[in-house]
Every structure is written in C-alpha cells, then in structure tokens.
C-alpha cells in the first residue's frame, strides 16, 4: 500500500505550491503535538489532521463542541477613508450589506474573467477599517492581488500575523465560550447574531474578537486572539470541555454542511455560477466590481456546467477526481468523502448542464450508481430528509 | 502503538504476512499503517478462489479521506477473506495484527517468504520513516 497519501483536506489541488522554503507553524503547534496530534502539511503549514480519531472529532462537533486551530488562515486589515468603495470594487458580494459595526459577509474575490481568486469573509469595523480573513494556501496571491487593486483607492493593506484564530463549533460551543468571558461581556456575546462579531475579554483579560461564523454547519464562534494568548485560550477551552478537532474533521463537517473548499470545489478557472455560489453574487445596479462583465455574459448565455450533490448508497467512498457519468456527458467529483453523520459517502460534483438522467461514478473501473441530491447533506446535526 | 509480533513478516509497503500451522498465509496491514491512514470506513476484499501475485494490488482499504491498495506479500490462491470488515472496517484500526486481518492465501512458492522483512527489519524501517 502507499502511505503518505495526502488526506484530502491537506492537499493543495488546484493551485501551485508557494515558494516557502520551510513549513510554517502556528503558535499552537507544540500544544497539538503534546496532545498526540497527527500532523500533516496543509498549504505549507504543519497542521493537526486529527488527535486520534477523525470520526470521533467529527461527532464531537455535531453533538457537543469541538475546536480547530485555524491560525494558518490569513487576517488582513484594510485601512483608509475609501475602504468601502474599494471593497465594492474588489468583491462580488456587496459590502454595502454591512451596515452595523461587527457585521460580516461571505464573498468571492474574482478575476476579470469571473474566475474565483479566493473566497473570504469581510468584517466591518468602521468606514476606515475593514478586516478580511482569506485562505492560507492562497495567501501570497491574494495579498498581491489586493495590494495591486488597493493602490488607486489609497487603501493600506496590512497582514496581521500577530493574530491566531480558534474556531469553536457545535451545539454547545457558544455556551462554553461565553462561560470563559469576563462577566460584563457575557450577555452581549450570548446575543451576538449570526455573521456578526464583537470584541470581548477572555480568560485572564485577554482581548478577543469573537465572530459567530464557522465552517462546519454548526453554531459556534470563530475567535481571533493575539498570538501570545492563543495557548492559554486553547487550554481554557479544553478545560471547559471543548474537544480538539483536526483539519480532517473540519473537512468532513464542511462537506456535509454543503460548504465549498477553495482549490477543490472552485478556483480561478471556475465561475461562481458553476460552483453554486450565485447566492454570493450581488448584481446590484451600477456597482462595477472586478469580474462583473464576465459574470453577466455567462448569466445571459448560460454556463455549461453545474455543481450538484451526490450520495452513494452502496458501500464505497466517493473521492476527488473520480469520473461522473451522466446523460449529457462526463463530469467529475470535486470534494468527496465518507460522511460520518450519514455513515455513507457524499460528494460535490461538477457535471454538464441539463437533466443528468441516471448518474454513475467510476470507482476503480466499476460504474456505481449515485443519487443527485440538493445539499447541504446535514443540517442542525441531523441528516436532511431524503439524504 | 502496539508491539510488532515477532512471528510476522512484512512488505516494505506495510502489509504483514503470518504463516499458519496449516500452511496458509494470513495478510493484513501494520498498526503503523492503520495509524497513518486514520479511521477506516471501507474495505474492498478480493474474491475467494482468485489467484494473486506477490507485490500486486489484491484488496483496497479506504480511510475517511484516502484509498490505498493492499499488496499481497506472496503469490497463490485466496482461500479466506475477513467478512467482518464489510460491516466493521474499523476492526483494522482496533487490532491491525489480529482480528483486522484482511485475506488468507494458499501460497504457491514458499521461497517468496524469504524475501519479506522480519519484524525487526520492519520496525527499523518505520523508525527511519518517522525521522
């Protein structure tokens, strides 16, 4: 057998390796190793894939509360009087939806051809300060692109390597985090709406930026913390009963929840129309964002491919790259995995547009029937009806 | 990580072979290998009666995120497969050197056994892999 196969979440499909000479480490690296994590290379970062059992970690997040070190992700602060105007131009979603301080928005950042450079979350602090959180593996090209565009708006682009980030997810995640906050902050953070963020004091008075966002389909928070406090926060969360979970579980959780992974489900050669990201495109009147012309042309003429969900009812596992056979020709599996909540394999696939008929997947030369379904596959911790 | 039983022989590619009293060779993957693969969710077993060649893909194990070919350490005929793995593939994670065996071969050339690594040589190999 071949070992050292990259376990899916850890690979860098769809984009070239960065030119980094060494693997980078988050400030929690020693903490992960001390708790017996199995470490893998993820986009140039040495990250925990699991702490023993990926499946148990997955269930911990669906049923209780788990935490992920996502400090490899890139935090970028944008400063300048014209920052909102700049973001109207940079992003395919409309930053004008952000009216209240602390509100967050998911968006694609497109190239002129309408291909996805990256997906990101933007937070609104004030008119002269917004924050982006972008993917780790796309860090260098994202920063180069953002800086190139920012110049003419006089916006300063400042990466924040002084921050770590911990995602705490699961039905009991918010309560466990809130219990660790300074008393004066608890009620306010408890009431924080979805896709909103606020500052609060954590254990020992450490300053936290807490966002009610995530990548698992469960409720919870993503917490940005100064690197010097990250280990103490991780340990306090562990003490509150939050179970460490690796990037393996993060990948199966987000797949079940119907969330795209950049590089696997979309990239610069894929339009948001072909990646089920139409809900993130704001073709509002008069806003000239990068890629808009291409998107409008594609919308008018129709795109040749669709992204669909697949369920395999037989034994076996759907995997990235497997061929999908439809009435209209071949497609391929994007993200595919065994789904622990469902106890069977599910996948996203990109297939030719039109009624697909009976769909089969080529698994090692065998044509296996699959069902085309609407995803998310899992909602509120339970399989969706019909999955 | 559990001890490597001294009666086992290994392929470099992490399959073990145990020669039994009745002359059958039972095959599985090492504890080190299951640890690297993570939680196993599916095992594709060979058919009883199939003939296999040493060093060729005979079964497939799939963990949550990766599929791996299992090579037979010896040539011969498949005479048993571990049906338990159809419903409980995690048996390999729990007991790789025992209940997690995958198939058994009636060996056609006992000379092939001499080409396999003994337990100490295999232990040394994985020791070196880890550094």
Residue A249 token pair: 């579980």
Chain A residues in contact with B36 (beta carbon < 8 A): 3-4, 38
**Nearby residues of A214 by Cβ (< 8 Å), 6 or more positions away:** A167, A169, A220, A221, A222
A296/A193 same-domain check: yes
CATH class of B9-123: mainly beta
Give A315→chain B minimum CA distance, Å. Answer: 7
Spans in chain B with pLDDT lower than 70: 1-2, 130-131
CB atoms within 10 A of CB B117: 17
A227/A347 same-domain check: no
Give phi and psi for B110, each to the nearest 5: -65, -20
- Picking from A3, A50, A316, the nearest residue to B14 by CB comes out as A3
ipTM of model: 0.86
Q: Do B63 and A7 touch (CB under 8 A)?
A: yes
A251/A313 same-domain check: no
CB A283 within 8 A of CB A114: no
Q: Return residues 222-251 of A near B (CB < 8 Å).
A: 248, 251
How high is the pLDDT of residue A3? 66
- Picking from B41, B68, B69, the nearest residue to A338 by CB comes out as B41
Query: For each successive 10 residues of chain A (387 residues), what is the average pLDDT?
Result: 49 38 90 96 94 97 98 98 98 98 98 98 98 96 98 97 98 98 98 98 97 98 98 98 98 98 97 97 96 98 96 95 97 98 97 97 96 95 91
A296/A319 same-domain check: no
Residue spans of alpha helices (H) in B1-131:
31-37, 84-87, 91-94, 119-129
CB A49 within 8 A of CB A248: yes
A343: closest chain B residue by CA: B41
Give B22→chain A minimum CA distance, Å. Answer: 27
Last residue of a domain, one of A277, A302, A327: A302
How high is the pLDDT of residue B31? 96
Q: Do B42 and A364 touch (CB under 8 A)?
A: no
Is A1 an 8 Å CB contact of chain B? yes
Last residue of a domain, one of A247, A281, A302: A302
CB A42 within 8 A of CB A22: no
Is B65 an 8 Å CB contact of chain A? yes
Is B109 an 8 Å CB contact of chain A? no
Residue A212 token pair: 């009610």
A363/A219 same-domain check: no
Name the residue among B36, B107, B49, B27 with its Cα closest to residue B75.
B107
How high is the pLDDT of residue A12? 36
Residues A214-241: b if buried by 16+ CB within 10 A, e if exposed: bbbbbbbbbbbbbbebbeebbebbeebe
Q: Do B38 and A38 touch (CB under 8 A)?
A: yes
A186/A51 same-domain check: yes
Give A343→chain B minimum CA distance, Å. Answer: 9
Is B19 an 8 Å CB contact of chain A? no
Strands A323-326 and A220-226: unpaired
Is A319 an 8 Å CB contact of chain B? yes
DSSP 8-state assignment for residue A194: T
- The mean of the pLDDT values for chain B is 94
**Nearby residues of B66 by Cβ (< 8 Å), 6 or more positions away:** A5, A6, A7, A8, B37
**Nearby residues of A351 by Cβ (< 8 Å), 6 or more positions away:** A305, A306, A308, A324, A326, A328, A330, A331, A359
A134/A242 same-domain check: yes
Domains of chain B: which residue ranges? 9-123
Q: Do A9 and B63 touch (CB under 8 A)?
A: no
Q: Do B66 and A9 touch (CB under 8 A)?
A: no
- Residue A324 maps to which CATH number? 2.40.30.110
CB A8 within 8 A of CB B66: yes
Q: Do B65 and A251 touch (CB under 8 A)?
A: yes
How high is the pLDDT of residue B128? 87
Q: In what helix (H) or strand (E) does residue A144 lie, and over which residues does it extend?
A: helix A139-150
Residue A143 token pair: 């920063």
Chain B residues in contact with A316 (beta carbon < 8 A): 42, 44, 62
Last residue of a domain, one of A302, A322, A346: A302
Domain that holds residue A340: 304-387
A55/A133 same-domain check: yes
Is A49 an 8 Å CB contact of chain B? yes
B86: closest chain A residue by CA: A315
CB atoms within 10 A of CB A122: 25
Q: Do A3 and B68 touch (CB under 8 A)?
A: yes
Name the residue among A338, A379, A317 with its Cα closest to residue A251.
A338
Residue B76 token pair: 């011969």
CB A251 within 8 A of CB A14: no
Number of domains into which chain A is organized: 2
- Picking from A9, A55, A315, the nearest residue to B39 by CB comes out as A55
- Residue A294 maps to which CATH number? 3.30.1360.120
Q: Do A38 and B35 touch (CB under 8 A)?
A: yes
A150/A266 same-domain check: yes
Q: Do A1 and B65 touch (CB under 8 A)?
A: no
Residue spans of alpha helices (H) in A182-315:
183-190, 227-239, 247-256, 292-301
Q: Do B62 and A8 touch (CB under 8 A)?
A: no
Chain B residues in contact with A252 (beta carbon < 8 A): 64
CB A272 within 8 A of CB A110: yes
Is B10 an 8 Å CB contact of chain A? no
Q: Do B35 and A55 touch (CB under 8 A)?
A: no
CB A367 within 8 A of CB A359: no
Name the residue among A15, A222, A10 with its Cα closest to residue A139.
A15
Q: Do A248 and B64 touch (CB under 8 A)?
A: yes
CB A375 within 8 A of CB A332: no
A89/A237 same-domain check: yes
Chain A residues in contact with B87 (beta carbon < 8 A): none
Chain A residues in contact with B38 (beta carbon < 8 A): 7, 38, 49-50, 53-54, 248
CB pairs under 8 A between A and B: 72
């Amino acid at each position: 057998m071949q070992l050292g196969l990259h376990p899916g979440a850890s690979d860098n499909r769809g984009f070239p390796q960065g030119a980094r000479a060494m693997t980078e480490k988050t400030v929690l690296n020693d903490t992960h190793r001390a708790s017996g994590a199995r470490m893998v290379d993820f986009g140039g970062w040495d990250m925990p894939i699991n702490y023993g059992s990926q499946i148990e970690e997955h269930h911990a997040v669906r049923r209780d509360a788990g935490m992920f070190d996502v400090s490899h992700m890139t935090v970028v602060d944008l400063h300048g009087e014209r920052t909102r105007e700049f973001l109207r131009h940079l992003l395919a979603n409309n930053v004008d939806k952000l009216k209240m301080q602390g509100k967050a928005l998911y968006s694609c950042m497109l190239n002129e051809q309408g291909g996805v450079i990256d997906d990101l979350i933007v937070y609104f602090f004030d008119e002269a300060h917004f924050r982006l959180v972008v993917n780790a593996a796309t860090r260098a090209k994202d920063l180069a692109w953002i800086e190139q565009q920012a110049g003419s708006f006089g916006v300063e682009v400042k990466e924040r390597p002084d921050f770590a980030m911990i995602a705490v997810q699961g039905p009991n995640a918010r309560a466990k985090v809130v219990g660790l906050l300074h008393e004066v902050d608890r009620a306010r953070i408890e009431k924080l709406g979805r896709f909103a963020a606020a500052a609060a004091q954590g254990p020992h008075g450490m300053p936290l930026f807490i966002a009610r966002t995530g990548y698992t389909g469960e409720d919870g928070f993503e917490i940005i913390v100064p690197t010097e406090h990250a280990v103490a926060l991780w340990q306090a969360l562990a003490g509150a009963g939050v179970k460490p979970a690796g990037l393996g579980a993060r990948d199966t959780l987000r797949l079940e929840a119907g969330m795209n992974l950049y590089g696997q489900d979309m990239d610069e050669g894929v339009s948001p129309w072909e990646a089920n990201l139409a809900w993130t495109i704001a073709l509002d009147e008069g806003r000239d964002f990068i890629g808009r012309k291409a998107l409008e042309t594609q919308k008018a003429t129709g795109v040749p491919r669709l992204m669909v969900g697949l369920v395999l009812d037989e034994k076996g596992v759907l995997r990235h790259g497997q061929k999908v056979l439809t009435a209209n020709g071949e497609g391929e599996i994007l993200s595919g995995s065994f789904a622990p909540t469902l106890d069977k394999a599910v996948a996203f696939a990109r297939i030719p547009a039109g009624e697909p008929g009976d769909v089969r997947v080529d698994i090692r030369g065998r044509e296996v029937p699959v069902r085309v379904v609407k995803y998310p596959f899992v909602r509120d911790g339970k399989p969706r009806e019909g999955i | 990580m559990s001890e490597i039983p001294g009666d086992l022989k290994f392929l470099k590619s992490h399959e073990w072979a145990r020669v039994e009293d009745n002359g059958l060779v039972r095959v599985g993957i090492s504890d080190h290998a299951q640890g690297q693969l993570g939680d196993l969710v599916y095992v594709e077993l060979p058919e009883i009666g199939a003939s296999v060649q040493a060093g060729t893909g005979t079964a497939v194990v799939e963990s949550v995120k990766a599929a791996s070919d299992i090579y037979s350490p010896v040539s011969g005929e498949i005479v048993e497969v571990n049906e338990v793995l159809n419903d409980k593939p995690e048996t390999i994670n729990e007991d790789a050197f025992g209940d997690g065996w995958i198939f058994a071969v009636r060996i056609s050339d006992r000379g092939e056994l001499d080409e396999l690594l003994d337990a100490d040589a295999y232990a040394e190999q994985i020791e070196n892999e880890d550094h």
